Structure 1
Amino acid sequence: MEPRYARPDPAIPSSWPVGDPYLAQTEVGLPVLTYQQVFQDPRLQTLIAEALANNRDLMIAASNIAAAREQYRIQRAQLLPTLNAGAGVTVSGDKTDKVTANYDAGVQVPSFEIDLFGRVRSLTHVQLQRYLATEAGARATRLTLVANVVSAWLNHAADSSLRLIAEQTATSAQKSVQLTRLRLEGGIVPRTDLDQAEQILATAQADVARQRTAVAQDVNALQILVGAPIDPRLLAGSIDEAAGKIAPVPAGLDSYVLLRRPDVLQAEYQLRAANAQIGAARAALFPRITLTGLVGLASSALAKLFTGGAFGWSAGADATYTIFQSGAGHANVRLSKAQRDAAVASYQKAIQSAFRDVADALARRGTMNDEIAARQRAQAASADNYTLTEARYRAGIDPFLTVLVAQRSYYTAQQQMVQVRLAAARNIVDTYQAVGGDALLQATPVCQALPGDSSASNAKLASQCSPI
């Protein structure tokens, strides 16, 4: 009754985009990654480990997995009969004051459906795939959490660098104000020079205050992700310090590695569940056959209850078939097929979105080195220009406005250098997340043993689902 499952065409190219602005991909395949291989700073690894242990979203995901696993077990139990054991005594009397007692004990099968048409098996398969989808969703949550922790840690490092730059600029501007005030008092420069110097100082001081707020907010964001207070010793002091221990992620040549991304796996398991639901809907159109049975002992004397003459049994079978239901059964089959078609589209959309995530990350990586080199040249040139214009101003060659323009340019170049280094580091984080990161470690053996189940049950589980 259940349609044979066939994985839909992923509807994406078999390889990543090439040409400008993409870097040439030389890797033959995507190796299995761990976050420790990519994010190599021990302080960051400590924060990630704490987040994986304490984050509330992961706790919710773990509870959802447990609930889905038990739902699967409940449904799977319907494949076997339920046995009830009982014992009792009935006492009766009449007007002659004669009292009669009847004793009984036995084992009963209250009602067991013979799954001739696979309805119960299909429903069990539905719950299995939903359980696996929930587990894949938890891995997607874990992957997102790791990426978010790294991004928040990098944001703190970048804001710390920007705060340091603002503080250095404010210190330099304070010296310029003091020098300009002395020159004004000596009648060497006009009042406008002092006003312009104080404007630069006020701007830098405002930036210091803003960056202090940003750094504090970055710590708050990390605490939410980690689920515990942050030890200041685990934070990087600058973006250069933080980005230096983040290793590039190989993207590989084969775009079909996206089939192992946890969100894509989740979409496929949901598709498998929808496919199995069709089998259950089809089987519901056929008669249901149920068995009942009783094996036990009965006697009017308790002492004779366990003798051979007290043994008895009974068995029965029922078949039910819905004669008229206004087409509801066939409509349910069509509904299941429509839901399966929607799941196919959702699966293909998940793959296409994953492909775009990787392609965007590769496009950014392809131009990142050129941008960093250009920003470094711009920063060096602006620093040199600021030094020269300041010397020329003190020599009376250039006006103070030229110094202010050069100082602003140097300040901006420093800020842009921090931003581009942050962007380069976050591009690695984006690539790590886009290709599935260390979720690949758990993506191959999707039919895992269920804790507490017998080896026979787990063998049956493995036979009911296929590896990805």
Structure 2
Amino acid sequence: MKPMTKPAALLSAVLLSACSMAPTYQRPAAPVAAAFPSDSAGAASRTSVPLPLRADARSAVDTGWRDYFTDPRLQRLIASALDNNRDLRTAVLRIEEARAQYNIQSADRLPNLNANLADTRAKTPAFLSSTGRSTIGERYDVGVSVSSFELDFFGRVKSLNDAALASYLATEEARLAAQIALVAQVAQAYYTERAYAEQYALAQQTYEARARTYKLTQQRAEVGASSRLDLRSNETLMETARAAALTLARQRAQAENALTLLVGQPPASAASGAMPSDAQIDVLNALPAGLPSDLLSRRPDIRAAEQRLKAANANIGAARAAFFPRISLTAAVGSSSPSLHGLFDSGSGSWSFAPQLTLPIFDAGRNSANLTLAEVRKNLAVADYEKTIQTAFREVADALAARDYLGEQVNAQRAVQEAQADRLKLLQLRFDNGVASSLDVLDAQRELFSAQQTLVQARLLRTTTAIDLYRTLGGGLK
């Protein structure tokens, strides 16, 4: 056992002193402006100024989705989606896959210790035997061994280990990004279904009212009090409302199917609830944007892209180390004996120590090509990282721009609806007094129905934009 002292000391020194030939990692500069764009020219032309955000408003990353979405049914749907959504489940399994790959790679940094027990028998023919007779020899061996352990002088194994770790961390960040996206998708699908339900109710009410008007007009036409043109115009409006109701019923059913897919199972309760009020939407929009530099730590997709960049950087170190000698050790210590009962007798100890050095001399440019490939892949990772930042910047900027304008758009559309409703009342009075024609009343009914539908769509757009802002700022994890 004494001769193993020096190899063991050498092995320990190598394990402690292994370095990496990977380039020193430096985070690329963010290829975006220092602040999100502000539309000062547009703001100057507005009829009103949006209310300022509260000074105590919490950031998106500090606002859990249960605090952000207060609708109880929506909360249940999001919780169910986090448990049952297959895309998120796949992302979790990807993490397990990456963790296993990292564990496999990190195992190469330590020697594999194996226990061996062997029984060897060999027959020697008579013409080869020193005694002139055939003999059968036996040998028994028992011990432990280290097989082909690489001494990582140039950091090849360490670089591969670092790359595997970064890939694992990137997969974990990708899972977090998938969770944030899922929370936002469920909320948007839920409110989309609620908007279709509200539009369908309006269309159904409009159809029923127009059906009654058509029936009265039909009765008047039968006694000559209304013209055929009035009858057909009323029929057109009635059937238009009916077609709109059928279209919205189909869209609502498809929205429910999309929500079921996101949740991962049929919703436990029937569809209920309503679109959030304007005050609730204001609360959803009350999120401070911060600075673009904050996105680097807030958004898991950006952190995932950076981890992929670190993995590519580490792979350059492994490719560089391939140009240098590779030293591996094979060692064993144990006991050998020609008989089983003498295997552990005094003096039966045995050992072997076989270092091996491999120096690349000619590989037809393989190592150079591998290094070039690693460098190109790093450049690709840099481009992907920068594009991810730019995409995140654009998403936040779009959501902020929408927040600035959609509140006013909803107010304007509500004013249109109120004006159309008042116009219809006035025209109905004029028609009852014989001043206005029935065509004017029918046109006002059509315009009011269109204004009602457009208002619901504008409120839905403002709601989904608030959810987008929450997602793009990194909210949805808690």
* Shift in alpha-carbon separation, 1:227–1:168, aligned structure 2, 3 A: same
* Shift in alpha-carbon separation, 1:254–1:408, aligned structure 2, 3 A: same
* Shift in alpha-carbon separation, 1:35–1:243, aligned structure 2, 3 A: farther
> Which residue number in structure 1 is paired with residue 164 of structure 2?
127
* Shift in alpha-carbon separation, 1:428–1:86, aligned structure 2, 3 A: same
Q: In the aligned structure 2, how far is the partner of 1:280 from the partner of 1:93?
A: 48
> Which residue number in structure 2 is paired with residue 107 of structure 1?
144
How far is 1:299 from its partner?
1.1
Q: In the aligned structure 2, how far is the partner of 1:326 from the partner of 1:332?
A: 12
For the Cα contact (< 8 Å) 1:26–1:253, is it kept in 2?
no
Q: Deviations over 1:205-260 (max 9, x none)?
A: 11111111111111111111111112344x33432469947722513332212113
For the Cα contact (< 8 Å) 2:143–2:333, is it kept in 1?
yes
Moved more, 354-363 or 97-106: 97-106
> Which residue number in structure 2 is paired with residue 58 of structure 1?
88
Q: Which amino acid aligns with 2:121?
A: V
For the Cα contact (< 8 Å) 1:379–1:414, is it kept in 2?
yes
Is 1:318 the counterpart of 2:356? The answer is yes
> Which residue number in structure 1 is paired with residue 15 of structure 2?
none
Is 1:202 the counterpart of 2:239? The answer is yes
- Identity rate of aligned residues, in percent? 40
Q: In the aligned structure 2, how far is the partner of 1:252 from the partner of 1:156?
A: 28
Q: Deviations over 1:311-345 (max 9, x none)?
A: 11110111111112233323322322222122111
How far is 1:84 from its partner?
1.6
> Which residue number in structure 2 is paired with residue 373 of structure 1?
411
Instruction: Pick the aligned partner of 1:352 from 374, 384, 390.
Output: 390
> Which residue number in structure 1 is paired with residue 449 of structure 2?
411
Q: In the aligned structure 2, how far is the partner of 1:3 from the partner of 1:26?
A: 46
Matches within 5 A, 1:336-347: 336-347=374-385
Moved more, 292-301 or 238-247: 238-247
Q: Deviations over 1:160-204 (max 9, x none)?
A: 011011011111101211221232233222121111111111111
Matches within 5 A, 1:254-403: 254-260=291-297, 261-403=299-441
Q: In the aligned structure 2, how far is the partner of 1:341 from the partner of 1:27?
A: 42
Q: Which amino acid aligns with 1:314?
A: S
Gaps of 5+ in 1: 442-468
Instruction: Pick the aligned partner of 2:184 from 132, 147, 155.
Output: 147
> Which residue number in structure 2 is paired with residue 428 of structure 1?
466
For the Cα contact (< 8 Å) 1:156–1:218, is it kept in 2?
yes
Q: Deviations over 1:93-141 (max 9, x none)?
A: 6676865432210111111100000000000001111111111111111
* Shift in alpha-carbon separation, 1:80–1:99, aligned structure 2, 3 A: same
SS of 2:30's partner is: coil
* Shift in alpha-carbon separation, 1:80–1:437, aligned structure 2, 3 A: same
Count the aligned residue pairs: 439
Q: Which amino acid aligns with 2:29?
A: D
> Which residue number in structure 2 is paired with residue 238 of structure 1?
274
Q: In the aligned structure 1, how far is the partner of 2:428 from the partner of 2:472?
A: 48
For the Cα contact (< 8 Å) 2:289–2:473, is it kept in 1?
no
Q: In the aligned structure 1, how far is the partner of 2:62 from the partner of 2:263?
A: 25
Q: In the aligned structure 1, how far is the partner of 2:290 from the partner of 2:398?
A: 15
CA RMSD across the alignment: 2.1
> Structure 1-normalised TM-score?
0.89
Is 1:47 the counterpart of 2:85? The answer is no
Q: Deviations over 1:418-449 (max 9, x none)?
A: 0111011001111011112134x6xxxxxxxx
Moved more, 260-269 or 122-131: 260-269
> Structure 2-normalised TM-score?
0.87
Q: In the aligned structure 1, how far is the partner of 2:195 from the partner of 2:136?
A: 92
Q: Which amino acid aligns with 2:36?
A: W
Is 1:191 the counterpart of 2:228? The answer is yes
Q: Which amino acid aligns with 1:171?
A: E
Is 1:76 the counterpart of 2:106? The answer is yes
Moved more, 110-119 or 183-192: 183-192
Moved more, 334-343 or 160-169: 334-343
> Which residue number in structure 2 is paired with residue 12 of structure 1?
32
For the Cα contact (< 8 Å) 1:122–1:280, is it kept in 2?
yes
Q: In the aligned structure 2, how far is the partner of 1:168 from the partner of 1:422?
A: 20
> Which residue number in structure 2 is paired with residue 175 of structure 1?
212
For the Cα contact (< 8 Å) 2:331–2:351, is it kept in 1?
yes
For the Cα contact (< 8 Å) 1:385–1:406, is it kept in 2?
yes
SS of 1:14's partner is: coil
Q: In the aligned structure 2, how far is the partner of 1:98 from the partner of 1:327?
A: 53
Q: Deviations over 1:323-379 (max 9, x none)?
A: 122333233223222221221111111101100000000001001121111111111
Q: In the aligned structure 1, how far is the partner of 2:200 from the partner of 2:387?
A: 42
Q: Which amino acid aligns with 1:369?
A: G
Q: In the aligned structure 1, how far is the partner of 2:165 from the partner of 2:277?
A: 47
For the Cα contact (< 8 Å) 2:123–2:136, is it kept in 1?
yes
> Which residue number in structure 2 is paired with residue 446 of structure 1?
none
Q: In the aligned structure 1, how far is the partner of 2:327 from the partner of 2:123?
A: 41
Structure label with greater radius of gyration? 2
Q: In the aligned structure 2, how far is the partner of 1:176 from the partner of 1:361?
A: 44
Q: In the aligned structure 2, how far is the partner of 1:365 from the partner of 1:305?
A: 83
Q: Deviations over 1:292-318 (max 9, x none)?
A: 111010112322211231111110111
SS of 2:344's partner is: coil
> Which residue number in structure 2 is paired with residue 465 of structure 1?
none
For the Cα contact (< 8 Å) 2:295–2:473, is it kept in 1?
yes
Gaps of 5+ in 2: 1-20, 44-49, 127-132
How far is 1:83 from its partner?
1.4
Q: Which amino acid aligns with 2:71?
A: D
For the Cα contact (< 8 Å) 2:147–2:330, is it kept in 1?
yes
Is 1:218 the counterpart of 2:255? The answer is yes
For the Cα contact (< 8 Å) 1:12–1:352, is it kept in 2?
yes
Q: Which amino acid aligns with 1:33?
A: T
* Shift in alpha-carbon separation, 1:97–1:282, aligned structure 2, 3 A: closer
SS of 2:288's partner is: coil
Q: In the aligned structure 2, how far is the partner of 1:181 from the partner of 1:128?
A: 77
* Shift in alpha-carbon separation, 1:47–1:422, aligned structure 2, 3 A: same
SS of 2:108's partner is: helix
